[in-house]
Amino acid sequence: MKFIEFFSDSAMPLIIIIIVIYGIFERKKIFDIFLDGAKDGIKIVLNIFPTLIGLFVAIGALRSSGIIDVIANFLAPAFNLLNFPTEILPLSLIRPISGSASIAVATDIMKNFGVDSNIGLIASVIMGSTETTVYTIAVYTSSVGIKKTRFVLWAALIADFVGMVTSVVVCRILS
Protein backbone atom coordinates (compact mmCIF):
# COMPACT_ATOMS: atom_id res chain seq x y z
CA MET A 1 0.00 0.00 0.00
CA LYS A 2 2.89 2.35 0.76
CA PHE A 3 4.30 1.71 -2.74
CA ILE A 4 1.02 2.75 -4.38
CA GLU A 5 0.87 5.89 -2.25
CA PHE A 6 4.50 6.71 -3.07
CA PHE A 7 3.92 6.09 -6.79
CA SER A 8 0.76 8.19 -6.75
CA ASP A 9 2.52 11.09 -5.02
CA SER A 10 5.58 10.99 -7.27
CA ALA A 11 3.94 10.31 -10.67
CA MET A 12 3.43 13.93 -11.78
CA PRO A 13 6.82 15.26 -10.62
CA LEU A 14 8.46 12.27 -12.29
CA ILE A 15 6.66 12.95 -15.60
CA ILE A 16 7.73 16.61 -15.46
CA ILE A 17 11.33 15.62 -14.80
CA ILE A 18 11.27 13.13 -17.70
CA ILE A 19 9.88 15.79 -20.06
CA VAL A 20 12.54 18.31 -19.00
CA ILE A 21 15.36 15.75 -19.37
CA TYR A 22 14.05 14.71 -22.79
CA GLY A 23 13.83 18.37 -23.86
CA ILE A 24 17.41 19.00 -22.74
CA PHE A 25 18.59 15.84 -24.49
CA GLU A 26 16.84 16.89 -27.73
CA ARG A 27 18.10 20.50 -27.32
CA LYS A 28 14.60 22.00 -27.32
CA LYS A 29 13.65 25.34 -25.83
CA ILE A 30 11.46 23.81 -23.12
CA PHE A 31 10.12 27.02 -21.61
CA ASP A 32 9.27 28.52 -25.01
CA ILE A 33 7.38 25.35 -25.96
CA PHE A 34 5.56 25.53 -22.63
CA LEU A 35 4.58 29.17 -23.24
CA ASP A 36 3.30 28.35 -26.74
CA GLY A 37 1.16 25.58 -25.27
CA ALA A 38 -0.19 27.92 -22.59
CA LYS A 39 -1.10 30.50 -25.26
CA ASP A 40 -2.93 27.82 -27.26
CA GLY A 41 -4.73 26.72 -24.09
CA ILE A 42 -5.97 30.25 -23.43
CA LYS A 43 -7.23 30.50 -27.02
CA ILE A 44 -9.18 27.27 -26.58
CA VAL A 45 -10.69 28.48 -23.30
CA LEU A 46 -11.81 31.70 -24.98
CA ASN A 47 -13.35 29.71 -27.84
CA ILE A 48 -15.38 27.38 -25.62
CA PHE A 49 -16.34 29.93 -22.94
CA PRO A 50 -19.62 31.05 -24.61
CA THR A 51 -20.66 27.42 -25.01
CA LEU A 52 -19.98 26.73 -21.34
CA ILE A 53 -21.99 29.77 -20.23
CA GLY A 54 -24.93 28.65 -22.40
CA LEU A 55 -24.78 25.11 -21.01
CA PHE A 56 -24.61 26.30 -17.41
CA VAL A 57 -27.60 28.59 -17.89
CA ALA A 58 -29.61 25.81 -19.58
CA ILE A 59 -28.74 23.30 -16.87
CA GLY A 60 -29.68 25.76 -14.14
CA ALA A 61 -33.01 26.39 -15.86
CA LEU A 62 -33.68 22.64 -16.16
CA ARG A 63 -32.90 21.99 -12.51
CA SER A 64 -34.84 24.91 -11.10
CA SER A 65 -37.89 24.50 -13.35
CA GLY A 66 -38.64 20.94 -12.22
CA ILE A 67 -38.98 19.71 -15.81
CA ILE A 68 -36.76 16.70 -15.07
CA ASP A 69 -39.22 15.49 -12.41
CA VAL A 70 -42.15 16.03 -14.77
CA ILE A 71 -40.44 13.98 -17.51
CA ALA A 72 -39.48 11.27 -14.99
CA ASN A 73 -43.07 11.01 -13.75
CA PHE A 74 -44.32 10.82 -17.34
CA LEU A 75 -41.87 8.03 -18.23
CA ALA A 76 -42.30 6.08 -14.96
CA PRO A 77 -45.15 3.78 -16.13
CA ALA A 78 -43.20 2.66 -19.20
CA PHE A 79 -40.08 2.02 -17.18
CA ASN A 80 -42.08 0.13 -14.54
CA LEU A 81 -43.15 -2.28 -17.29
CA LEU A 82 -39.47 -2.82 -18.15
CA ASN A 83 -38.65 -3.37 -14.45
CA PHE A 84 -36.30 -0.35 -14.51
CA PRO A 85 -36.18 1.40 -11.11
CA THR A 86 -38.02 4.69 -11.45
CA GLU A 87 -35.97 6.19 -8.61
CA ILE A 88 -33.04 6.28 -11.05
CA LEU A 89 -34.96 8.11 -13.82
CA PRO A 90 -33.97 11.66 -12.76
CA LEU A 91 -30.31 10.59 -12.72
CA SER A 92 -30.68 8.87 -16.10
CA LEU A 93 -32.16 12.02 -17.60
CA ILE A 94 -29.69 14.54 -16.17
CA ARG A 95 -26.45 12.50 -16.42
CA PRO A 96 -25.90 13.05 -20.17
CA ILE A 97 -26.39 16.79 -19.71
CA SER A 98 -24.45 17.79 -16.60
CA GLY A 99 -21.86 16.19 -14.37
CA SER A 100 -22.41 18.49 -11.40
CA ALA A 101 -26.20 18.21 -11.60
CA SER A 102 -25.96 14.42 -11.84
CA ILE A 103 -23.68 14.34 -8.79
CA ALA A 104 -26.33 16.30 -6.89
CA VAL A 105 -29.06 13.89 -8.04
CA ALA A 106 -26.92 10.83 -7.19
CA THR A 107 -26.16 12.28 -3.75
CA ASP A 108 -29.87 12.84 -3.18
CA ILE A 109 -30.60 9.24 -4.22
CA MET A 110 -27.98 7.95 -1.79
CA LYS A 111 -29.31 10.13 1.03
CA ASN A 112 -32.84 8.82 0.48
CA PHE A 113 -32.09 5.15 -0.18
CA GLY A 114 -28.65 4.59 1.35
CA VAL A 115 -25.32 3.98 -0.31
CA ASP A 116 -25.53 0.20 0.12
CA SER A 117 -29.06 -0.12 -1.19
CA ASN A 118 -29.70 -1.57 -4.64
CA ILE A 119 -30.81 1.87 -5.87
CA GLY A 120 -27.67 3.50 -4.41
CA LEU A 121 -25.43 0.90 -6.06
CA ILE A 122 -27.18 1.37 -9.42
CA ALA A 123 -26.75 5.13 -9.13
CA SER A 124 -23.05 4.69 -8.39
CA VAL A 125 -22.51 2.36 -11.33
CA ILE A 126 -24.41 4.71 -13.66
CA MET A 127 -22.20 7.60 -12.53
CA GLY A 128 -19.10 5.55 -13.30
CA SER A 129 -20.21 4.01 -16.58
CA THR A 130 -21.75 6.99 -18.39
CA GLU A 131 -20.53 10.35 -19.61
CA THR A 132 -21.82 13.89 -19.60
CA THR A 133 -22.45 13.49 -23.30
CA VAL A 134 -24.07 16.78 -24.26
CA TYR A 135 -21.51 18.79 -22.30
CA THR A 136 -18.56 16.87 -23.76
CA ILE A 137 -19.79 17.08 -27.34
CA ALA A 138 -20.60 20.78 -27.01
CA VAL A 139 -17.21 21.66 -25.56
CA TYR A 140 -15.10 19.60 -27.96
CA THR A 141 -17.00 20.40 -31.13
CA SER A 142 -17.20 24.11 -30.37
CA SER A 143 -13.47 24.27 -29.67
CA VAL A 144 -12.68 23.04 -33.20
CA GLY A 145 -15.64 24.67 -34.96
CA ILE A 146 -17.71 21.61 -35.85
CA LYS A 147 -21.36 22.57 -36.41
CA LYS A 148 -23.10 19.29 -37.40
CA THR A 149 -23.13 16.96 -34.39
CA ARG A 150 -26.40 15.07 -34.75
CA PHE A 151 -24.84 11.67 -35.59
CA VAL A 152 -22.26 11.98 -32.85
CA LEU A 153 -24.94 13.02 -30.40
CA TRP A 154 -27.24 10.10 -31.24
CA ALA A 155 -24.42 7.56 -31.04
CA ALA A 156 -23.24 8.93 -27.70
CA LEU A 157 -26.75 9.05 -26.24
CA ILE A 158 -27.34 5.45 -27.31
CA ALA A 159 -24.06 4.49 -25.61
CA ASP A 160 -25.24 6.28 -22.43
CA PHE A 161 -28.57 4.43 -22.58
CA VAL A 162 -26.77 1.09 -22.98
CA GLY A 163 -24.51 1.99 -20.04
CA MET A 164 -27.50 2.78 -17.85
CA VAL A 165 -29.43 -0.36 -18.77
CA THR A 166 -26.32 -2.47 -18.30
CA SER A 167 -25.75 -0.85 -14.90
CA VAL A 168 -29.24 -1.87 -13.78
CA VAL A 169 -28.87 -5.42 -15.14
CA VAL A 170 -25.42 -6.00 -13.65
CA CYS A 171 -26.41 -4.58 -10.24
CA ARG A 172 -29.49 -6.78 -10.18
CA ILE A 173 -27.46 -9.88 -11.08
CA LEU A 174 -24.76 -9.18 -8.49
CA SER A 175 -27.06 -8.25 -5.61
- pLDDT, tens digit (0-9, with 9 covering 90-100), for 77-92: 888 888 888 889 889 8
Does some domain include residue 43? no
Does some domain include residue 31? no
- What DSSP letter does each residue of 2-62 carry, written as one string? HHHHHHHHHHHHHHHHHHHHHHHHTT--HHHHHHHHHHHHHHHHHHHHHHHHHHHHHHHHH
Helix 30-65 and helix 67-81, axial crossing angle in degrees, nearest 10? 80
Which domain range does residue 124 map to? 48-174
Does some domain include residue 40? no
User: Into how many domains does the chain fold?
Assistant: 1
Does some domain include residue 108? yes
pLDDT band at 71 (very low <50, low <70, confident <90, very high): confident
Does some domain include residue 162? yes
Does some domain include residue 41? no
Q: pLDDT tens digits for 131-159?
A: 888 878 887 887 777 877 778 888 888 99
Does some domain include residue 77? yes
Does some domain include residue 170? yes
Separation of alpha carbons 108 and 55, rounded Å: 22
